[in-house]
Amino acid sequence: MEKPTALIAATAIIVTLAVLAGVSANDPGMLQDVCVADLNSSIKVNGFPCKAQFNASHFFSDVLVKPGNTNNTLGFVVTGASVLRIPGLNTLGLFFGQADFAPGGLNPPHTHPCASEIAFVLYGELEVGFITTANVLVSKTIRAGEIFVFPRGLVHYQKNKGRLPPSIIAAFDSQLPGTQYIAATLFGATPSLPDNVLSIAFQVGMEDVQKIKAKFAPK
């Protein structure tokens, strides 16, 4: 028996609204003008509880005035202007950061489970890319003034192939987008992922797994 036209139309509207809600909603929406994060509260919620009193300093930070220190193994550093440094960002669904690269620096393959990312090149140039769930690499070289988007949850990377130290500004549609570096997640987890699991997954011997784990062991 065919469904009545009105019922079909109503069902289509409900499904469409549900899909749109799932697409547009990331962090929960705010219910008041501001909710300055009380970072010292012992209360645990999805975000941070609100402070009773606030002022302009809670909405300000100079954390990005200077480039980050890239003197490390990867030649790369992220400086986050997050709710942890700007309490006024609480409930606004935003995260802002700057990534600086030394010559040859690499932001290794990683994912942000809770947010999409849009990156704007301040200066220099970078090779960037993400991998789809069909294992297709989407990559491009981007330069000063250009933008690249990394869809939420997909593995992506940024690599400085030049001799100059580039810098990018990145914005996320979540106040806490989360970051999982693939190598560190798999080989540096606590408790440790079983060697045989990694050996089979990467098709390498147990000795190789242990050598890699040693490089990512918690310090």
Residue 43's φ and ψ, nearest 5 degrees, are: -75, 135
pLDDT of residue 32: 83
* Number of Cβ atoms within 10 Å of the Cβ of 30: 13
Which H or E element spans position 171?
strand 167-172
Predicted confidence at residue 71, as pLDDT, reads 95
Question: Mean pLDDT per 10-residue run, the chain (219 residues)?
Answer: 49 45 60 89 87 95 93 95 94 94 97 96 96 98 97 97 92 94 96 96 96 89
What token pair was written down for 64? 């990005």
Residues 88, 118: Cα–Cα separation, whole Å: 21
pTM above 0.85, yes or no: no
Rounded CA separation 135/128 (Å): 16
Measured CA to CA, the distance from residue 8 to residue 64 in angstroms comes to 53
Q: Report whether 90 contacts 43 (CB < 8 A).
A: no
pLDDT value of residue 2: 45
Structural domains of the chain sorted by starting position, each given as residue range(s) with its CATH number in brackets? 74-82+93-176 (2.60.120.10), 188-216 (no CATH)
- What is the structure's pLDDT at 22? 45
Tokens 């220190």 — which residue?
Answer: 69
**Full DSSP string of 189-212:** -SSPPPHHHHHHHHT--HHHHHHH
Reference 24, options 133, 113, 116, 156; nearest CA is 116
pLDDT at 20: 41
The C-alpha atoms of residue 171 and residue 81 are separated, in whole angstroms, by 10
CA distances from 185 to 71, 104, 108, 130, 133 (A): 22, 23, 12, 18, 19
Give pLDDT, residue 122: 95
